[in-house]
Amino acid sequence: MTNTSQIYIVISVAALAIIATLLYIVNKNKQSKILTPLAGLAFGFVLAGIVFGDDRLVGYSLMGVGVILAIIDIVIKWKKK
């Protein structure tokens, strides 16, 4: 018997894969931008939050850290311009 949270995890991973595929197709001919290490770390924290979402405190904490890191990366890029 599958747990409801496992179904949500599978749906989330599938949605991320679809979005990544669509972004790849749209940006195929354009010059790609390199993902900064901070953005990669933020993405990793968000994925870890999804994977470890069984314990709400851990899952939401990891996602929160990922979002904060992503916002910091956005602000750093914005100030460079």
pLDDT digits (tens, 9 = 90+) for 18-67: 888 887 777 777 665 778 899 999 999 998 888 887 888 988 999 999 99
Distance set, CA 16 to CA 12, 22, 80 (Å):
6, 10, 29
Res. 2 pLDDT band, cuts 50 70 90: low
Q: Are residues 39 and 23 in the same domain?
A: no
pTM: 0.62
Q: Are residues 28 and 53 in the same domain?
A: no
Please give the pLDDT value at position 32.
Answer: 58
Q: Are residues 15 and 42 in the same domain?
A: no
In the chain, what's the furthest Cα-to-Cα distance?
Answer: 52
pLDDT of residue 74 exceeding 60? yes
Tally of structural domains, the chain: 2
Whole-angstrom Cα distance, residue 39 to residue 51? 18
Question: Residue 62 is encoded by which pair of tokens?
Answer: 């990891």
pLDDT of residue 14 exceeding 60? yes
Q: Which amino acid is at 4?
A: T
